[in-house]
Structure 1
Amino acid sequence: MSWGFNLIGGGFRESKRAMQLSELLGVNISPSQVLQGHSPFKQLVNRYENELVVAVGKGEPAAVMFEYGFKNVLSIDEYASCFDDIDPLAQYKEWITKKVANQSRTFKEIGPRKSVHSERVQAAFIVSDSVDWSRDIQVVCDILRSGGLPGKEIGHQPPLYFAHDDLKYQATFPSERLGMGAFRIALESIFNRIHFNALEYTSFGKPNAFVFKNAETVLKQLASSLDHEVHVVNHPDDGSHFKTLYMIGDNPSVDIKGARQAGHPWFSILTRTGVFKGKENPSDFPADLVVDTVEEAVDYILRKECTS
């Protein structure tokens, strides 16, 4: 049996994404069927479950981490609001004050709020795209340079994790927008200029082959949990449990490169709906199939599976 898997943008809980997809598609989608760039952060819960960590990004990054099991997590908005003058431009950002005041997820919901002035941040997580680059770069640099206590002496850098490293992506604007990878470059460039040691970080997300292997592992778990019988083709030579897994993406250097690196059983389909708009299959990261739209990709998959 062949499978498709939905890897979508981040910043929101898998449970919320599942609800949105269920309403949109008219079928029941469970949170376990939704895999986002920051989903691998779940694997770090045992390490940081009770430690103070800061979550950066659009949407509800701290709520995402809290749902994963992190019990002492603050969003960058919440954390920065605890320090007077940490953002020298805050007075010009009335929208920041309103956002913090109107946040639906309160400190009470994430457990007792400890004093951030005496408790070191043990790790910083870039969950989704930064909304305020100037403040976030400033505050994250403060955290990393001081060993987790902004405003204090220089200390050992806490771990830094990025959900993905996409340099650009296609939104509604005609040309591509700068993504988390661009934010990482900016943060790294600045940090390396003001600190004696180079920035250390771990980046998850495509094209890292780990993402594809992780998706395959999750799909195996889903397949084994189905109530009805699922025919799974086993390939003893390579350990794969699937005949085909389809990657549909619009970014050759991220989606297609990742699927190619992951190898069998991944089949890459490149669409002209985003970053890629060319006529020919790109020579640097050629896909197994190039189509105009996602609908064409799905039609191809259905026809192929119905005749196989």
Structure 2
Amino acid sequence: MRGFRIALARAARSRSLAELQTAQRRRPSDLAQRFSHLAPAPARPSFGIAFDIDGVILRGRSPIGGSPRAIRRLYYEDGTLKIPFLFLTNGGGVPEHRRALELSELLGVNISPAQVVHGHSPYRELVHRFEDDLIVAVGKGEPAVVMSEYGFRKVLSIDEYSSYFRDIDPLAPFKTWKVGQTDSNMSAKVHPSYDVYTERVKGVFVVSDPVDWGRDLQVLCDILSTGGLPGSEKGDQPPLYFAADDLEYQVK
């Protein structure tokens, strides 16, 4: 019995020695691959970064200083995100996915729409309240497109809405310039026709800075003072939301 135990121990030692010699003959890469599942995963950072855009990362469409290089340091070499970050700006007027594409092009990294927070991004939280109501979107850029992509189903830009009322802008005959908006060119594709003469506006959303302040103020006063239907009897005032009540402009 004792001899059997000794033989068994010798066999075990011989097997261990053979495995060790085999392992020593393996290439280092083979060993690394074999035990790669034992390597600790990179620790997740305990912080994130929020960047402003204009005046910090970009000036117009031009990167400021070494901002592209600084942003690239937040990624691993394979392009995956090392340090979580987002862009937080009170600007807007375009959908977040379009701004993400623009930033990706200018900074040379892959920016996802989830990393872009505009001043109007919180409007998404109000979709359940106004989803099927007629609302008016105000501001430069494409305010109605922005709101439609959030899930609001019945949206008109203030350009579109005011075009239904011939005399709603008393200063229109004196204006020699025309506002070049893009919403009106896309409205046929994005919005169905609404009977604005009978349906009341249930909410007004200032998405970005207006272009024609005088007209927009007049139209908003008519909407709010009549309960959402200019020219009608007064009703309950619809709510007015501002994405960013910033009336100061930076001079280059």
TM bin (shorter chain): 0.5 to 0.7
Do the aligned partners of residues 148 and 115 (structure 1) sit closer, same or farther apart at CA in structure 2, a change above 3 Å counting? same
* 2:242 is equivalent to residue 162 of structure 1: yes
Kept in 2, the 8 Å contact 1:78–1:100? The answer is no
Contact 2:141 2:182 in 1 (8 A): no
Deviations 1:72-91 (A, max 9, x none): 10000000001111111122
Verify the 8 A CA contact 1:45 1:70 in the aligned structure 2. yes
Q: Give how far 1:95 is off.
A: 3.7
Deviation string, structure 1 residues 146-196 (Cα, Å, up to 9, x no partner): 100001122210011000222424242xxxxxxxxxxxxxxxxxxxxxxxx
- 1:236 match: none
**1:147 aligns with one of 215, 227, 240:** 227
Do the aligned residues in 1 keep the contact of 2:210 with 2:216 (CA within 8 Å)?
yes
1:21 to 103, 123, 128: 103
Question: Take 2:174 and 2:240, find their aligned partners in 1: how far apart are those partners?
Answer: 28
Compute the TM-score of the two structures, normalised by the length of structure 2. Answer: 0.64
Aligned with residue 119 of structure 2, among 21, 37, 41: 37
Match of 1:103 in 2: 184
Q: Structure 1 length normalisation: TM-score? A: 0.52
Give me the whole-angstrom Cα distance separating, in 2, the residues matched to 1:37 and 1:101: 20
The gaps in structure 1 that reach 5 residues or longer are 173-308
Of 135, 139, 156, 1:74 maps to 156
Structure 2 counterpart SS, 1:136: helix
Aligned residue pairs total: 170
Matched position secondary structure for 1:168? coil
Amino acid at match of 1:104: N
Deviation, 1:100, is 6.1
Alignment of 1:1-308 (within 5 A): 1=45, 2-5=47-50, 6-8=87-89, 9-96=91-178, 99=180, 103-110=184-191, 112-172=192-252
CA contact (8 A) 1:58 1:130 kept: yes
Deviations 1:232-290 (A, max 9, x none): xxxxxxxxxxxxxxxxxxxxxxxxxxxxxxxxxxxxxxxxxxxxxxxxxxxxxxxxxxx
**Bigger Rg, which one:** 2
Any conservation in 2 of the 1:54–1:79 contact (CA below 8 Å)?
Answer: yes
SS in 2 for 1:106: helix
For residue 94 of structure 1, report the CA deviation from its aligned partner: 4.8
* Cα shift at 1:16: 1.0
How far has the Cα of 1:101 moved from its partner? 8.8
Taking only the aligned residue pairs, the percentage that are identical comes to: 59
Moved over 6 A (4+): none
Shift of 1:102: 8.1
- Between the aligned partners of 1:51 and 1:106, the Cα distance in structure 2 is 17
Residue 292 of structure 1 corresponds to none
Asked if structure 2 preserves the Cα contact closer than 8 Å seen for 1:42 and 1:68, the reply is yes
Offset at 1:31? 0.9
Residue type matched to 1:3 in 2? G
Unaligned ranges ≥5, structure 2: 1-44, 51-86
